[in-house]
Chains A and B, each alone.
Chain A
């Protein structure tokens, strides 16, 4: 398996963190902070007074039954909800010193810093290279060689380089589902975000591809703050440091993954993680 041969390389990569990134990992201020956040779609209240801190350089999982608001919250983290004109929110939500609810906040700047990977892989109908180069081209002026460096780097990070390096100009839609999803992750990290949001990234994939993505998340955790929404409790327990359990628009419990899955405080959480409903 190509992913396996890549593993040592990726391990090494983690040691060569930029000084800037290294500094960030030391401070303990949260990457994203929500205080008493309420959100609506029209008259329907999707989130009820959410307060939680997403820790830096860790993997945070959001679990809960469908319609519980976990994707809504994720989409507020980089304002993907802006396209829905009935969506609105009150309370506080901040990324560092950036107020995420302020209408004057530059969403373009925000989305450079907070990348997102969607449930269904959505590569652009362009070549593999163009898919990854899309973000960097928007945000930076790059020489040709710099751009190809960046593309190679991102594809290596996303553990698809070996599979696609000989056909970078082939259409991305020709890749398998799992490869497409990793391509989308490469595309997201090519813009150099601080936070990577993943909205059920494996729900449309087969078990082997899911495993590849989970390995990848494991590789990326030291450099990026990762928030992953998942239906799959095993997945949350396998790859996250902290887990938040959502139910009917509220955060019922937010704790280290280990504690939440073994000794939850709330009965609802217990019932859910044991598969009694959901």
Chain B
């Protein structure tokens, strides 16, 4: 032991001298580091501004092309906002009434949400209040996979499986119908409802829950009477964001809902949504400079405004809700 100490003693003596020489050397010049720092900072700011640029160009492009659409003689703002007749491809009797598309969009979204909201909310309640770890470990990945399956797959499922089943149930169903698209859209949306609602339920302070249970309530009482009301605005924001997502969904309706815009409440009928119309325009060979081509932009702008306001409202409610409990 003492020999080892003596040896390391001698070597550390040397080491000391060497390191002292090293430490007294001049340090790296900071100038070039600063300059590099500045460049990188500028590059990062450029990245950040890029996302703003995307928003600006979405609005810019949609706005200018929509204005160009309204400059065509056959288009009037009154017709666009006041009519439910959307027939841009019918040569002589062209009519551009956006409600024809909005109603279809709302019908499919309504069906989807009628399925996704209760399903998502109850699953969220189960996951956050009741589910044992093991069940969570199975359910969570299942939800993730459901959310990760591309919409074109749901579209295929709607057209090939749901529609024939609906037709077997009831003869009135068209090959293309709102019901089938809505049913397929439900599972696509519900993982999102579920995870946002679960977040909301989780952020209700434990003290509130324990308080309710401590006063002799059952878990059901605590959930319905205390936790749900406390998490209500968080849940509302989850619904809003999910509706925004559902409205913008494209491939399911493009495959299963059909391409006849009409304002109907009959889910057995063929309809067309805003997104479905855009896909029809882009996929077909419409002239690039006709009214119908620019109508695509007007529809996109309408869709953008609707989803943007829902998203902003949802995010606003969510932020308010979070502030309450932080």
Which A residues are within 8 Å of any B CB, using their own CB? 5, 8-9, 12-13, 16, 18, 20, 106, 108-109, 112, 138-142, 146, 149-150, 152-153, 156, 192
Contact = CB atoms under 8 A, between A and B. Distances in A.
Contact of B12 (A13, A18, A106, A138): A13
Contacts of B18: 146, 149, 153
Given A13-B12, A153-B16, A8 B22 contact: no
B170 interface: no
Interface residues of B, number: 20
Nearest to B8: A9
Contacts of A149: 15, 18-19, 22
Given A5-B5, A9-B9, A9-B12, A108 B30 contact: yes
B3 interface: no
A192 B23 contact: yes
Given A5-B1, A108-B30, A149-B15, A12 B9 contact: yes
A156 B18 CA distance: 14
Contact of A16 (B8, B13, B24, B33): B13
B24 A139 contact: no
B31 to A, nearest CB: 11
Given A16-B13, A16-B17, A142-B22, 20 more contacts: A9-B8, A9-B12, A12-B9, A16-B16, A108-B30, A108-B33, A109-B30, A138-B28, A139-B27, A139-B28, A146-B22, A149-B15, A149-B19, A149-B22, A150-B19, A150-B22, A152-B15, A153-B12, A153-B18, A156-B15
Interface string B17-53: 1111011110110100100000000000000000000
A16 B24 CA distance: 14
B12 A112 contact: no
Contacts of A141: 28
Contacts of B1: 5
A140 B8 contact: no
A20 B24 contact: yes
B87 to A, nearest CB: 58
Nearest to B33: A108
B9 A18 contact: no
Contacts of A142: 22
Contacts of A5: 1, 5
9 contacts: A12-B9, A16-B13, A16-B16, A109-B30, A112-B27, A140-B22, A140-B27, A149-B18, A150-B22
B5 A8 contact: yes
Nearest to B18: A149
Contact of B30 (A9, A16, A106): A106
A16 B17 CA distance: 8
List the 10 shortest-distance A-B pairs measured between CB atoms, nearest first: A192-B23, A153-B19, A18-B20, A139-B27, A16-B16, A149-B18, A153-B15, A139-B28, A9-B12, A150-B19
A8 B2 CA distance: 11
Contacts of A156: 12, 15
B253 to A, nearest CB: 47
A18 B24 contact: yes
A108 to B, nearest CB: 6
Contacts of B16: 13, 16, 153
B139 to A, nearest CB: 32
A157 B171 CA distance: 87
Contacts of B23: 18, 150, 192
Nearest to B14: A149
Contacts of A16: 13, 16-17, 20
Nearest to B12: A9
Contacts of B12: 9, 12-13, 153, 156
A79 to B, nearest CB: 15
A153 B13 CA distance: 10
A140 B21 CA distance: 13
Nearest to A5: B5
Nearest to B1: A5
Nearest to A162: B8
Nearest to B5: A5
A8 B9 contact: yes
A50 B13 CA distance: 42
Contacts of B24: 18, 20
A9 B9 CA distance: 6
A150 B15 CA distance: 8
Contacts of A192: 23
A156 B8 CA distance: 11
A148 to B, nearest CB: 10
Contact of A12 (B13, B20, B22): B13
Nearest to A146: B22
A163 B290 CA distance: 79
B21 to A, nearest CB: 8
B13 to A, nearest CB: 7
Interface centre among B12, B18, B25 (most CB of A within 10 A): B12
A20 B20 CA distance: 10
Contacts of B33: 108
A9 B23 CA distance: 20
Contacts of A152: 15
A34 B33 CA distance: 30
